[in-house]
Amino acid sequence: MRVETDRLILRNWQLTDAEDLVKLLNNFEIAKNLTIPFPYTLDDAISWIKKNMQKSKRNYYYFAVIRKSDNALIGGTSLALQDEKEMDNGGIWLDASCHGQGLGTEVWTAMSRLWFADKNNNVIYSGYFSYNKASEKLHKKVGYKEFGVRKQLCPALGKEVDEILVKLTRNDFEKYYRTLDFEFKVREDNAQTNEM
């Protein structure tokens, strides 16, 4: 699967992404906001990509974020239904050189739109560490609301931290989506499903 936005392509991970993934994720400033192993090694990247390559099912999206202008891998994003009742695996990260340009908003809006394109999906669950102001802003901008807090291990910090739990309803997302003053397209290209 492949999703295209104004400036980005979200596509399936490929084993050839592994070295770039290590360069991007082996960065404390990014890793302190995520639950990835740290330091992040080539073995971590390869086994993670292989795991996600094996799974191809409904409501299970793990994408590399590619910048269209130079075809560079600049981040990753995911939304996945972990069981029939709960979706708790929303994730987004971008290389620090790309922050503050609205690209996170572009990715997170596209992922939400993709999720709600399935009429059976009415909510997305996500979370961010309590100190992560950028992620808080991004989530709230798209319409997420807080509903709880839990302890979560942050490997980069080597300790448990507070994770703020948030959820986005279809209704709140549609309210946000109607306010967008630019045309926003998500194209699903199933012909690319086997590109790996």
Q: Footprint of ligand COA on this chain (CB under 6 A)?
A: 30, 33-34, 92-94, 99-105, 128, 132-135, 137-138, 141
In angstroms, give the least distance from the CB of 143 to ligand COA: 13
Residue 62 tokens read as: 């793990």
Shortest separation between residue 192's beta carbon and ligand COA, angstroms:
24
Q: From the CB of 33, what's the least distance to ligand COA, in Å?
A: 3
Q: Using the minimum distance from each CB to ligand COA, give the nearer residue, 18 or 74.
A: 74
Residue with tokens 């309803």: 169
Extended beta strands in the chain, E state? 2-4, 8-12, 60-67, 72-80, 91-94, 123-129, 145-154, 159-169
Question: Between 170-179 and 103-116, two packed helices, what is the crossing angle to 10 degrees?
Answer: 130
Cα 144 to Cα 130: distance, rounded to the nearest angstrom? 15
> How is residue 117 annotated by DSSP?
T
DSSP 81-95: --SSS-----EEEE-
In the complex with ligand COA, the residue whose CB is nearer, 18 or 111, is: 111
Q: How far is the CB of 119 from ligand COA (least distance, A)?
A: 27
Query: Taking CB positions, which residue lies at the least distance from ligand COA?
Result: 104
Count other C-beta atoms under 10 Å from residue 185's C-beta.
Answer: 10
How far apart are CB 193 and ligand COA at their closest, in Å? 26
Cα distances (Å, whole numbers) of residue 134 to 25, 85, 139, 141: 17, 28, 9, 11
Minimum CB distance to ligand COA smaller for 137 or for 185: 137
Smallest distance, ligand COA to C-beta of residue 194, A: 29
Name which of 56 and 130 has its Cβ closer to ligand COA.
Answer: 130
